[in-house]
Each structure stands twice: as C-alpha cells, then as structure tokens.
Structure 1
Amino acid sequence: MGIDQGRGEMDNRATPHPRKTLPRSARCSRAQDRLRPVPIASACFPGPARSTTPAMSDPIETARLQVLHSYGILDTPREPAFDDIVTLATQICAVPVGLVSLVAADRQWFKAQCGFPSCETPLSQSVCAHALTAEDGLLVIPDLTADPRTRENTLVTETPFIRFYAGAVLRTDDGVSLGTLCVIDTKPRPDGLKPDQAFALRALARQVMAQLELRRAVREREAALAAERLVRDALAVSEERYRLSSRATTDLIWDWNPQTGRIHWDDGLSALYGFQPGEIEPSNDWWYAHIHPEDRDRVRRSVQAAIDGAPLRWSEGYRFRRADGSYATVLNRAIIVRGSEGRATRMTGVMLDATQQAEADAHREMLSQELSHRLKNTLAMVQAIASQTLRDAPDVASARDALLQRLLALGKAHDILLAGNAERAGMEAVIRGALALHDNARAGRLRIEGPPLDIGPKAALALALMIHELATNAAKFGALSAAAGAVGVTWQIETRDDNPHLRLSWAESGGPPVTAPSRKGFGTRLIERAFAGTVAGDVALEYRETGLLCVLTAPLAGFQGKDGILN
C-alpha cells in the first residue's frame, strides 16, 4: 500500500499535461563505475513564476535562514558524498531525478542532483518549500497536476513536465528545516512511495544532515585550531614582556601588604573574572577563599615561605574561582619588596589567566600520546617485515630489493592516511596505490571493483602489504608475468550471522598455470596470519590452472576499527 503523506486536495477534473520523459541527456550516466548527473539542455528551467510557494512568517524564516547559512553550504562545489546519496535515492525509488535541495531566501539551490540542471531555481518554482513544514518529515505528491499547491508551477505546466514528487525534510536536531532530499518523476504515481522506499528516503535524508554536520564540525575545528595558535602566540609575547619588565604591568594587577593583609585589586577582577565592585573584598582572606580547595593550602604555604624567606620574586599556578562559580587556571607572579632588615613589606604582582594554555597543553598531550601509539605500531610492523624478509631472502641483494618494495608499499598506505583523515583510508585508494607499479595502462589488465568503503589505519597498512605481495608474486610467476594476463580485485559486503562481513577476492587469469609452493614464504604467511589476524578473518588460497585465487572474508568491524578487530 502506497504512502500518501502530504497529498493535497485532488482535482480529478483537471486535464493532465502530456506525459514526457526526461531526455537521455538529463539522466544519470555511468562513467568509471560512478553514477554522475548530466545537465539538461536548459539552464534553470527559465519561465514565469506561477507556483503557490507557501509564505513564511518573517521572524521564523529569518531564524531558519540564519541556521542554513551557519552550515556554510550554499554555492559550494559538488562533493561525492552528496552525489552518492542522490544517486542511491533515485535508484531506490526508481525515478530519473533526485536532488539535495536547500531552500534559501529567494531560491532553492542544489548541493547534489541527478537528472536535473547543475544550478538552482527560483523559490517561486520550488516544490520543496511546501515540504519544510511536513510534521512527519516526508511530503509525497502523487500527481503534481492535481494538487492545488503545484498544478500552476511552471516546472509542471512546461518543460520538463514533472508529475510526481517525494521529499524527505533535511531537519536539524533542533527541528529547523533546511531543505529536502527529493525524488521526481515525469509520470504520476497514484500509490506514492512504497513503505521501504519512504523509509530509505528518510534514512538517506538523515545521512545528508550527518554530512552537513560533519562539514560544519570540521570548519569549527579548523577555526578552533587557528584560535589556539593565536592564543599560544599571544601568551609567548606576554611572557617575553614579563621577562623584559621589572614588574608585571598587564592583566589583573594586585598590590598586597603582608603586614595588614590588605590587597588592592585593579579593574581586572571585574573585566576578567566577572566580579562586581560590591563583591570584592580588599583582603588576603577573600583571595584565599576564592582559590580552589585542593590548591588553597599549597598556595598559602608557598606565599608564607616567600615572605619568611629571602626571595625577591614569587610565582605560583592554581585555580581561581570566577564570579559565576567556574574556575580559571591562573599563573600568579609577584615582586617582593623588603625593608632594610629583609622583612617583606609589600608584594606587587599580576594574575594571568592561563586557562586556554592549560587546555592547549592537554590537547597537545593527547596528540603526543596518539603519535607515540601510531609510531610504535609502525616500527613494530617494519621490524616484522625486515625480520621476515631477511629470513626468506637467498642473498643480500634480494633482501634489499624485497625490503625496499615492501617499505614502499607501506609508505604509500601511510601517504593515503595522511592525505585525508588519519583515522580512515579509502579501500580502493589503498589497493590502487599498492598496484601502481604493475599498471601498464593496458585496458583490462587490472580490474578493481567494489563499493566505496573506508577502513581503519591498521587494516589499511596490512592490506597494502598483502596486495603488494600478491602483485609481486603475480609479476614473477602468475598472471602479471604474461602479456595477456589480468588481475581482478573485487570486494563486497555480505551478511553472516546477522553481522556485516567483507569479502575480498584476488583473481588472476590469462597467465601460466600456477601450483602450490613446496613451502610457505613470507608473502603467504603475511596473508594467512598477519593480515587475517589484523581483521580477524579467514583466508583461502586456491592454485588453479587459470591462475591464483585468494579470498579473504572478515567482519566489517575488523576492517574499520582503529586498531583492527581489537578496537
């Protein structure tokens, strides 16, 4: 039974416009195993505006547009992540047109499109604007010519004569509607969407929002890192100023008489820590009371030791309570003025808010630990490769060449990780990098196919080494040693025991017959033990007359975990 959310009042007496299919140039075409939209001949379906786009109250619409602009997505270049979602939506719903449509102030702009112009349309032609207020997040109009909201729309009455529309709302966690992920057909659909199609469209819309949130998070992270650099540079300048000055002259300045306990504070207590003048007491007891309980005794002892001793300077770091109850990490520095008998008569100093520096230090420590972990893993892998290579090589020259090629394969996998997200690498990119030396540009020699998939860093390094070993063996004894030989590397995701598994195949053809070796070398052990162990999978090697077949099956979690299956 079809889903009919958002259907308007149907006018069965309306004369339908002639049905037309979109021209072939407007459909999704396949090139290099990837669906891509090809623009329709017209630019943006120009024509007079006759749609009944819903009016929105100014305050609500203004707030909505502010949220939309906060994502920084409008007028950005196309991105594969969004294109893939649109292509998948059109395939699931069996329609020629799909869009990621963002409804702006006077237009709807398409971040991704399949079978639709690569541009935008006026808001007056927008069907998506009607979907923004859909309570259940989905608007389905089986026949646009029969719905009073859309039957006068020029996209319905003129080329391309669209007839069916279904749009899942792109909605933030706060309930703000930004646009839709929609599918369109040139034929009406009386039954709307099937339940599974409606579910899939909503799910894909959530993925679009996840991509938008990810883009914004990355942008905010870059801004935060830039701000951190500015703070670090500013602190360095401040410390240099303090070293060159005979006394501190910036930030919160205070002047204390140890004999009377009276402290004079400057305006920094109000400007920097939020205290109102009536809340501040000119006494050291008030100061001590605002030091964190865990730091208070230590600071008190430090101050007393400086006063009773002979030093002329004092410095201490601690946590100081602001007016709002939160704590700032501060660095307090002072000059001690002593009388003729060496008795402390005055302490004048500054209290520097080092909260941001403390947070930056904690972040740097975390990055240092991560780098140490990654370096230890890499060194352990290099050590194992060197040990096994030297054990199996017949002579020094062979060992040198084999070790060089294996380390190059490992280095290419590292390059792929560092070029993008260090926690993820594209499976296809890792495989192509490992096979680059064996690609002679002959069509069909190397066939690499599989769905887009990101894998973890440890699995990426192990995969690069495995593909390198298989390719090296094929170049010496297998398919790549023959002019007509070819290798196919394919992968697919299967469900086993209710869990997703990845099946990776290496299949050689067109080469000489292969036989099982009399003993297992490093390459075989690497595949059967190291790589399979990394992803907790099973490996099957079959030596056929047509060429070697290697099949690896492992849980998907083993490939995508940060440290393999142990993550």
Structure 2
Amino acid sequence: MKDNAQPLPAGIAAVLGAPDRLAALQAAMPVFLGPDPDFDDIAGLAAGLVDAPMAFVTILGETDQWFLARRGTPEIRFPSQETFCARMLAEGGALMVADASRDARFSGLPSVIGEAHIRFYAGAPIVMDGQPIGTVAVADRKARTSAADILLPQLARLASLAGILIRQKEEARRRMLAAEVLSRDEKRHALALDAANVASWMWDLSTGIVSGNETFHRMLGFRTSRPMSARTFFGAVHPADRKTTIDRLRNALATGKEYDGLFRASKSGRWLLGRGRVHEWDAEGKPTLFLGINVDVTDGQLASERTRLLLRELNHRVKNTLAMLQSLARQTLRQTSDPVEFMDAFAGRLQSLSEAHGLLSDHEWGVIHLKMLLQKQIMPYALDYESQVEIHKDEVELGPDEAVGLGLVLHELATNARKYGALSVRAGKVVITARIVNEEGRRVLNMTWHEVGGPPVNPLGRRGFGSVLIERSLDKILGSSVHVEYLPKGVTAVVRMPL
C-alpha cells in the first residue's frame, strides 16, 4: 500500500504537524492504549446513518492515524499521509466524497486504488480546545452520488460526543493515576514528613476552613486529620501565646507580608515555629487563601545554648527555604484549588526538602557528602538501587543551600525517571558522574545525570512544572545552572554548581 502512496501535500503536512494541534492532541490523549469499546456505539451510530459498511472513530497524529473504534476493517493504525481524514482536516471541516476514484484529491490514495477499494467517504472532525485531533467517519466501497443532506451535521454531532468522551476518559485516567501514586506513596511521605517535623496547612478564608497534612494535626494534638474551622485552629494555640499568634496572622492578612511566629500547642505542649503568607486575593483585594508551614522546635527551645544556636541556624535556613516552598505552592495551587489534591501534589516536593533538611540537621548544618544526598533522594524510586544507579564521582561535600537545591533537582529527576524513564523498568539504569574542577581558583561541581535502557522518550511531550523546577532549583546559588535534554534514548541533565 505504501508503494502507491502519493507525496503528502504541503498544506496537509502543515495541518498534521501544527504545534497547537499536536499540543491539544497530547493534552486530550497523552497515551493511545488501542481500540476502546466505549467508542464502539459512536461508530455504530455513524454507520447506521447511511447504512455504511465501514465506520471509524480515530485519533489523527502527525504520522499515524489510530482507531479508537472501527467497523468493517481490522486495522488499528494507518499512516496519516494516506488517509481521507488528513485531507478532510486540511479542507477545514466536515467533508463528503461521492466517488473518490473520480476526485483528483483522493483518486491516488492506497485505500482507493488498493484492496480497500473505497469510493464513498464522509467525515467530521473531533475538535478539542479549538483544534481538530481526530475524526468520526463512514466509508463504502460503492460510490454514492447522493446522500442524506443531514449526514454531515449528524456526523459532526457524533464527533462532538466523541470529544466529550475523550476528555472525560482522560480526566478519569489522570484521577486514577493520582490515586495510584497517592496509595503507593502516602505512607512513605507521611513517615518522612513526620521524621522531619515539617507540617503544611492551608486556610481558606472564604469558608473559614483550615486543612493540613497529618503532621500538622499531630503537632496540634488532634487525633484525626479532618479539616477544621479557624476557631478550632486558634483554639489549639496555647492561651499564653494565642493573642500574639492571632495578631501576627491578622497583620500578615492586612499587609500581605510574611507571617512569622513561635507558639505552643495547647494539647501537645510542643513549641511550633510557624511561617506563612497570603497567596490569593479576590477581585476586591481581600485575602482568600493563606498558606503556612510549621516546624516542631521543642527540643531547641528546651536545650542548651548550643542547641539554641543551632535553632537560629535552622530558623535562617527555613527562611531561605520558604521562598522555594512558596514558589512550589503557588505553581501547585495554579493546577488545583482543591485542598486534598493540593496536599497530594505538594507532599512529594515538600518531602524532598524535608529529607535534605534532615541530613543537614544530622550534621549540625555543616556539610554533607554528595553520596548521602544521592542515596536519600534516589533510592525510594529505584526498583533495585544497587544495580540501577551507577555513580562515578569525586569526594564532594555540600553546604546547606547547595544540598537543599540539588536535593530538589535530584527528587524531580528521580520521580520523573520512576514514572516514565529508566527507573520504571528493571533493565533501566541511571549513570551519574560528578567531578570537581578548578575554575579561576574556585571549586565547581560538574554533574551529569544520564538515563539508559528505559522507555523511549517522547520529544513532543509537554514541558511541565517539574521540568521548570529542575532548571530553577539552583537559581539561589550564584553561577549555577541546570540543563535538561529529553533525548530519544533517555533524559540527560547537566548540573554546574560552584561550591
């Protein structure tokens, strides 16, 4: 069939390869899993409109047309350049061809001159986000000099139904994946946040509801993790500290400045360091959403002067990290306004920061070895850490800012590799090379992350917040950079960081 294919006209190639169209297709259906029986009824209804022996519901990629449902053919894939549907998209809307063998636009197609012997065709585009991503079509081996006047409008209605179904199924797929990730990671995340004594919470001022992770509720002395009213939240603050805490929160709400407070929890008696800021305002400029974090600093409050000095260093580091947490929170909040979904999406990145803080705390906020950071951030995502992670490195010691920033980079690379890359299969491997070079009398870490043996990388995949976060995590360290390449054989990242 391909030997008879005509060269693809430039106009059709432009339509198939249009970036906006491909982006809409990627958003609507990132992964094609084969024919889907949920679309069979749409193909059946289309065939019944004119008693056609062939009917299709398709997704039209740049190079391949995939069949979600089909009647009258065993095919599940066909080259895009050889299809009626590609030419229909170039025409700009629904299309009907009475006799393809007498139409110069179609007479040379393999499906016309080959075994399929198609003569009659009618189809309408499936439009998502203003872009045509597929078709609902019918065909016959016999020419039809006339067809019902309402055929194309009816096919257009079926195409609209197909688009709605595609959107609903993709939303369901994403919810299912999110639920699977939550089910797998929830216990590990909870233990990590508990060990690091970092709690996060969100106050919806429009409803007066405060929600947070399990660590937040435990720090306040609550047995359950249910959302609570603001009155209950303030009631959990020790009476001796309550007025000062409320006054500082009110000042943050009124001025938009950062909230910074130290208080005891009434029930647990723990000393908590709290920080936060307004993140959303309504059209009248009134605050509607407040995001905060708490760190348990009880041991520091009760310890010796040396421990109090360590707490001041921790306070300084939390301030430095807060800017990163707020950036993460803002980006995550743009994706969802649901408190539960926000906490799920935010927990993994907060865990990475918490683990880096935990390592630094163990070493009294001095320096930690790169090997420890690599193991802490990558091991939870490897199927077999010893066989899948190959490290070639010099002896590298990292300071607090360097460890926190690089830890977040490693977390995003590792989670991405576990979901889509080399760490998702046992044959995959991550090769890390870390060398110290001397540049004008200054030590600089050059590190590469290279994935091999994993699934092929789709270069057309959309650039998500995780990719942006990787490249910006070291912005605070002057002269540093992270460059990520999504090569077909595996993701490669190059890190440069002055020490």
TM-score, shorter chain, exceeding 0.5? no
Q: TM-score range by the shorter chain?
A: 0.3 to 0.5
Who wins on radius of gyration, i.e. which is larger?
1
TM-score normalized by the length of structure 2: 0.44
TM-score (normalizing by structure 1): 0.39
